[in-house]
Amino acid sequence: MKKLLCLLLSLSVCLFSLTALADEITLKVWDGQDDQALLQELCEAYAQAHPENTYTFQYGVVGTADASARYLEDPAAAADVFVYPDDQLIRLAQADALYEVTRNYDDIANRNSQGSVLAATYQGTLLGYPMTADNGYFLFYDSSVLTEEDVQSLDTILEKAQAAGKQFNFDIANGWYLSAFFLGNGCTITLDENGKQVCDFNSDKGLAAAKAVAALCAHPAFLPGDQNILTGTIGDSVCAGVCGTWIADAVKERLGDNYAAAKLPTFTVDGEQVQMGSFGGCKILGVNTQTQYPVEAMNLADFLTSEESQLRRFEVRGYGPSNVNVARSEVIAADPALSALAAQSDYAVTQLIIGDFWTPATAFGNALIADPTVDIQPLLDQWVAQTVGE
């Protein structure tokens, strides 16, 4: 009996020692209000999969739009892991806010689309974990008016729309959408090695693209205006328009069985067909450089952006994945909007804009809407000069 008691005591000491070896890790994690339930589900799944540590998660409600501003208020008090949109990457990187991804780099780069990896990269350094790749735009259309073949060409869309007494909606006064013509015709807006804005939208290629925009504005079937115009009139006076996944449910509700989507069409430049380009946007999971637990924070970020987590994120929230396997899955293929976005992603570029690009872009678009015969080159020169700060 004495030997048995000694044995039980020894086992108890061993178990206590093993338990004591488990580190207690507290990680603060930020995401938007609507994503809190899923965030907690995934974090708890991570904790269960890693019993070697005892995890405590502190959840904060900070949406992507506010990520950089909230971080910069007090970096030391900011989350260890937080979601940010790719257009905030430069600001965060220049503030030394983002921990370089030093673990599982090859796996992260290979499992996500090239565009999403580039969107999380600054000056050759990966500063985040791609989480979604659905902030882009494509074509919605009414399949009772237009066929899959019709929507391949802007000229055909306009021709068929006019014949049916319908219109094509495109928000020309918004630089994000307007850039589709310029990017498609080989123009670029990017940063040089010193982080200075570079833009060639006023080049010969830019002028040719702008003439195509003017031709669109002059067409009787063209309807300018934002997404509210599209969601309010598609299926009625409008048979097609350009926007993103966030209006997919509204468009589907209006079109019903005639709901369809496709990549952006081609347009005519000097008698040739040119594929429209676009900006592609991503949500990225970043790790705070001031975290007390960089390894654990990186491991958590890796898990939260894994194939399984991205599939779950689509199932629960409908987000488009950056993960290539999920993007090729049957569930994504069955979603017209995400399928169209995936097709357009082959022609999308990362948005690298820090200059005053948007305000002069609106002025340029409105000028062409008001008068498609206006002298274009001076307007382009003014737009670019304001963008690059000349």
Q: Is the pLDDT of residue 16 over 60?
A: no
Give the model confidence (pLDDT) of 294-341 as tens digits.
999 999 999 999 999 999 999 999 999 999 999 989 999 899 999 999
Residue 66 has pLDDT above 70, yes or no: yes
pLDDT at 24 over 50: yes
Residue 12 scores a pLDDT above 90: no
CA angle 50, 56, 59 (to 5 degrees): 115
Both tokens of 259, joined, read: 């709901």
φ/ψ (deg, to 5) at 95: -90, 5
Q: Whole-model pTM?
A: 0.83
Residue 98 in this model has a pLDDT that exceeds 50:
yes
Query: From the centroid of its chain, how far is CA 130?
Result: 10
pLDDT tens digit sequence for 136-180: 999 999 999 999 999 999 999 999 999 999 999 999 999 999 999
| Angle of helix 175-184 versus helix 358-370 axis, rounded to 10 | 80
Report d(CA 188, CA 180) in Å as an integer. 11
Given this model, what pLDDT does residue 192 score? 87
Write down the domain spans for the chain.
Answer: 25-134+280-338, 136-279+347-388
Which residue, 100, 117, 34, 45, is CA-closest to 300? Answer: 45
**263, 347 in Cβ contact below 8 A?**
yes
On the question of pLDDT at 5 being above 60, the answer is no
pLDDT of residue 74 exceeding 60: yes
Residue 320 DSSP label: P
Listed in sequence order, the residues at least 6 apart from 161 whose beta carbon sits closer than 8 Å to its beta carbon are 145, 146, 167, 168, 221, 239, 240
Task: Provide the pLDDT confidence category of residue 355 given band limits of 50, 70 and 90.
Answer: confident
Please tell me the distance from the alpha carbon of residue 227 to that of residue 7, in angstroms, as a whole number. 73
Q: How many CB atoms lie under 10 A from the CB of residue 229?
A: 19
Contacts of 1 (CB under 8 A, 6+ apart): none
In Å, what is the CA distance from 293 to each residue of 286, 287, 360? 13, 10, 44
Give the torsion sign (CA, 63, 69, 74, 80). Answer: positive
- Please check whether residue 130 is in contact with residue 313, taking contact to mean a CB–CB distance below 8 angstroms: no
Give yes or no for residue 252 having a pLDDT over 90.
yes
Residue 352's pLDDT is 86
Q: CA 385 from chain center: how many Å?
A: 27
Domain 25-134+280-338 shares a fold with domain 136-279+347-388? yes
CATH number for 25-134+280-338: choose from 4.10.320.10, 3.90.110.10, 3.40.1800.10, 3.40.190.10. 3.40.190.10
Lowest mean pLDDT among 29-33, 100-104, 189-193, 238-242: 189-193
15-29, 82-96, 209-223: which range is least confident on average? 15-29
Q: Is 198 left (phi over 0), alpha (psi -120 to 50) or beta?
A: beta
Average pLDDT over every residue of 111-131: 93
Measured distance CA(130)–CA(132) in Å, rounded: 6
- Confidence band of 21 (pLDDT split at 50, 70, 90): low
Question: What mean pLDDT comes out for the span 354-373?
Answer: 96
Q: Is domain 136-279+347-388 in CATH 3.40.50.720, yes or no?
A: no
Decide: 132 and 310 in contact? Cβ < 8 Å.
yes
Report percent pLDDT > 70 for the chain. Answer: 95
